[in-house]
Amino acid sequence: MVGALVFGGAGGIGSAVSRRLAREHAVAIGCLRRPERARTLAREIQEAGGTAVVVEADASTDAGVVRSFDVAEELGPLRVVVHCVGGWDFPRITELSEESIDAALRLNLRSALLTLREAARRVADGGRVVLLSSAAAEVAPARQSTYAAAKAGLEAAARVAAKEVAKRGVTVNVVRPGATDTELLHATTSPRAIEAMAGSNAMKRLGTPDDVAGAVMMLCSDDSGWVTGAVVDATGGLR
């Protein structure tokens, strides 16, 4: 069986990605602060006849990313790597500090760069790498300077990586979700702001984790071998 590694694989969007990948792959589910949630998901996948392991590791550190790949490679040739790690706060530009800038870049950008590096070294020929950005990278909403900057950086880095790994037939793409109905969204964003975001796309609703996972799976499919360095909007038609 071929393997897949999902950083943030038990999160809101990540768990939908892990469940779908598990239909055809042995999946390594990355987590950090909530390992129990990842273990529950792994059990669910195993009970449905799939293969899943949990790797507790900080995706913003060298050691954590390398160990995650080590664990994933034990499952078989690593065909898919998906990066679903990220998060935001709402600092005004006037409130930025060295600490808040570093924290946002570390979580959203450094983890993505380390994942790209390790995937470039270790994903199997013909493999698929997908990273989650955010509509914020393009919309640049007020009070999201660090998050938007980090995700824009992630998109640029993915496009560079796509060029460097193309000779092995590996593709690197980005999915850019809009507001998606996860715990993180509800924990960080007021109901009024969520309602406004849900009304701002063509579909007039929040995205679901499965909506976004569908776009990720499209880019992981055998049919997507000619699509690389792309940024795919999964926003329900925000533009």
Residue 139 touches ligand NAP, criterion: CB under 6 A:
no
Residue 125 or 195: the one with the smaller Cβ distance to ligand NAP is 195
Could you say which of 60, 111, 133, 145 is catalytic? 133
Closest CA to 129 of 161, 167, 90, 101: 161
CB-wise, 180 or 201, nearer to ligand NAP? 180
Whether 163 sits among the annotated catalytic residues: the reply is no
- Does residue 205 bind ligand NAP (CB under 6 A)? no
Stretch that binds ligand NAP, among 29-37, 46-54, 114-122, 220-228 (CB under 6 A): 29-37
Near ligand NAP by CB under 6 A: residue from 119, 179, 220, 232? 179
Pick from 27, 28, 72, 84 the residue near ligand NAP by CB under 6 A.
Answer: 84
For the question of residue 204 being annotated catalytic, the response is no
Residues 151 and 166: beta-carbon distance below 8 Å: no
* 3 is an interface residue for ligand NAP by CB under 6 A: no
How many residues touch ligand NAP (CB under 6 A)?
29
- Least gap, CB of 125 to ligand NAP (angstroms): 27
Which residue among 4, 132, 165, 213 contacts ligand NAP (CB under 6 A)? 132
Touching ligand NAP, residues 144-173 (CB under 6 A): none
236 contributes a contact to ligand NAP by CB under 6 A = no
Catalytic residue among 18, 134, 167, 224: 134
Q: CA–CA separation, 7 vs 90, rounded Å?
A: 24
- CA dist., res. 21 & res. 9, Å (int): 10
Q: Which of 11, 50, 127, 153 binds ligand NAP (CB under 6 A)?
A: 11
Distance CA 197, CA 180 (A): 9
Candidates 19-27, 47-55, 80-88, 97-105; binding stretch for ligand NAP (CB under 6 A): 80-88
